[in-house]
């Protein structure tokens, strides 16, 4: 099993397989320059990563920009277009397909919050959300349900997991990072979201990692002192 910090980008592996020189220019030297053809391709490809796009037609659910990751394979990436096909013996799409789409939307929202709360704009911060829909919602949850925000705030049904990671921190106050975590956690709580699990991690420039994992069924205050004591 790989940790989040060890994941390789699927796009990077594709670049490496296609042309090792291109891969090095993009991912090591960061000096890749677009030309007319690559710029045109980027414009045509732009809508494929619109992660707010969800379309349902004739038993097929179409999503774009869906983020995927595998701790087993140690890789992460973003899908252009994913189609979910309704099972013949069900009246609606799988609740877990719905959970993936909701997770994707919440991840986008939480990442914006994380960036806004970062004490240092140069920090590498990654926030992601994983939503699990339990049995009470299995037959009522739909990807385009307008009451998504109400549903994820219920006391039963969904479980909401926040993964909050800080990478490659250099010459920074560890206390500032913990305060950022506290502010982001408070934002989730103030939005009325219940049943939240938190996975915190901090990685410094030397690769030393501190982690903290909490679950909603065990008392944890998520205050500055509690988060700092938990990270080890």
Tens of pLDDT, residue by residue over 124-179, are 778 888 877 655 555 555 555 556 667 666 666 567 888 888 876 766 677 888 88
Q: Are 142 and 133 in contact (CB under 8 A)?
A: no
Overall average pLDDT of the 93-101 stretch: 68
The per-residue pLDDT for 204 is: 78
Classify strands 209-214 and 158-169 as parallel, antiparallel or unpaired: unpaired
The per-residue pLDDT for 155 is: 66
Q: Please give the distance of CA 88 from its chain centroid, rounded to a whole number.
A: 31
Give Cβ neighbours of residue 130 (< 8 Å, ≥ 6 apart).
103, 160, 161, 163
**DSSP element (H, E) containing 56:** strand 54-57
pLDDT tier at 54 (50, 70, 90 boundaries)? low
DSSP state letters, 195-220: SEEEEEEEEETT--EEEEEE-TTS--
pLDDT tier at 32 (50, 70, 90 boundaries)? low
pLDDT of 225 > 80? The answer is: yes
The per-residue pLDDT for 172 is: 66
Overall average pLDDT of the 80-87 stretch: 73
Q: Are 113 and 96 in contact (CB under 8 A)?
A: no
pLDDT of 59 > 60? The answer is: yes
Q: What is the pLDDT of residues 190-201, one digit of tens each?
A: 877 777 889 888
pLDDT of 30 > 70? The answer is: yes
The per-residue pLDDT for 171 is: 64
Q: Output DSSP code: residue 25.
A: H
SS3 60: strand
- Alpha-carbon distance 87 to 134, whole Å? 19
Q: Are 200 and 231 in contact (CB under 8 A)?
A: yes
The per-residue pLDDT for 23 is: 83
- Alpha-carbon distance 22 to 88, whole Å? 45
The per-residue pLDDT for 7 is: 85
């Amino acid at each position: 099993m790989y940790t989040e910090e060890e994941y390789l980008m699927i796009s990077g592996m594709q670049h490496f397989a296609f042309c090792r020189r291109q891969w090095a220019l993009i991912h090591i030297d960061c000096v890749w320059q677009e030309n007319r053809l690559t710029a045109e391709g980027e414009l045509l490809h732009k809508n494929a990563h619109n992660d707010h796009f969800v379309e349902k037609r004739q038993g097929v659910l179409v999503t774009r920009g869906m983020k995927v990751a595998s701790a087993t394979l140690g890789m992460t990436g973003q899908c252009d277009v994913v189609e979910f096909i309704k099972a013949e013996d069900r009246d609606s799409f799988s609740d877990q397909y719905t959970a993936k789409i909701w997770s994707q939307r919440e991840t986008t929202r939480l990442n914006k919050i994380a960036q806004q709360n970062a004490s240092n704009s140069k920090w590498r911060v990654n926030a992601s959300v994983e939503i699990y829909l339990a049995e009470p919602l299995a037959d009522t949850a739909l990807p385009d349900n307008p009451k998504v925000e109400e549903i994820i705030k219920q006391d039963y049904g969904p479980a909401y997991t926040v993964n909050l990671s800080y990478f490659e921190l250099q010459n920074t106050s560890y206390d500032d990072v913990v305060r950022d975590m506290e502010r982001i956690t408070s934002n989730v709580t103030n939005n009325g979201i219940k049943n939240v699990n938190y996975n915190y991690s901090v990685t410094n420039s030397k690769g030393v990692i501190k982690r903290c994992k909490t679950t909603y069924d065990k008392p944890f205050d998520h205050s500055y002192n509690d988060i700092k004591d938990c990270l080890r």
